[in-house]
Amino acid sequence: MVLRFFIFAAAFLISCTSEERDSVCDEKSIYYNGCVGGISSSSGGNVPSSSSKSVSHPSYITHSDPVPYGDQIYQTIFIGTQIWMARNLNYNKSGSKCYGEGIGGVSADSIAKNCERYGRLYNWETARTACPDGWHLPSDTEWEELVNFVGYSTVAAGTQLKAESGWNSDDDNGQDWYGFAAMPGGYGTADGIFAGEGYYAGWWSSTAEEQSRAHHRSILSRTSGNDNTIINKDSYEKSSLCSVRCVKGY
């Protein structure tokens, strides 16, 4: 199983005066103008100064309107010029499962808790149409925009997007600067195998690689033997079950 896992897992624009850039502007200006103290506006607002890099948990979280969908309400967040849901999709649709669903000996209560904690896992075809109206499964380009925006500092992108708790060790927990709160919900296979809970977070991209495979992003834990601070880009079989994180359309 471990070997299989390693193979599987290997703005509205707000203007600010120069004086304001030296102090504090509206929260959304963090993303658009870089005019909060300690963030340089010379690079479009995406590069913290050396003083801000030393802050363990900058207040970069800015919420957008919550989205009701199915029997859930999803908080939403600004990251750069994008708006993301603040947790994985938990919408019951044919072609999706909770982690552990269908495995003998796993209680219905445990399975339901997995869905509440991690969201559901979807095959790629289901993932493409699982998000609510006005939202969609992010393309590889949209994932790349996210990674580039949060990966500007000395703290790697994976660390910035991981939840502050819920991973298999304190060393694997993240800083969650933007409210993305990436949780290690694992993955599933077409033949009913589940693995990775606690040390693997992975999300579909809408971009297909070939007829049977599609692009995918993941964050791993140190226990997996990989760098746990980065966001990996790879491709999986479309029949695999992975998490979905919806992004708002324009």
| pLDDT recorded at residue 105 | 83
3-state secondary structure of 100: coil
> Tens-of-pLDDT digits for all 250 residues of the chain?
433 443 344 433 333 333 332 332 333 333 222 222 222 222 222 323 222 333 345 568 899 999 999 999 999 999 999 999 999 999 999 999 999 999 888 899 999 999 999 999 999 999 999 999 999 999 999 999 999 999 865 568 899 999 999 999 888 999 999 999 999 999 999 999 999 999 999 999 999 998 999 999 999 887 666 677 889 999 999 999 999 999 998 6
Helices (H), 55-199: 108-118, 124-127, 140-150, 157-161
Q: What is the pTM of this model?
A: 0.76
| pLDDT recorded at residue 179 | 95
Q: How many helices (H) and strands (E) are present in the chain, helices listed first?
A: 8, 14
Is the separation of the CB atoms in 121 and 98 below 8 Å?
Answer: yes
In Å, how far from its chain's centre is CA 123?
17
CA atoms 48, 50, 52, 56: torsion sign? positive
Which two tokens mark 165? 């708790």
Is the separation of the CB atoms in 198 and 221 below 8 Å?
Answer: yes
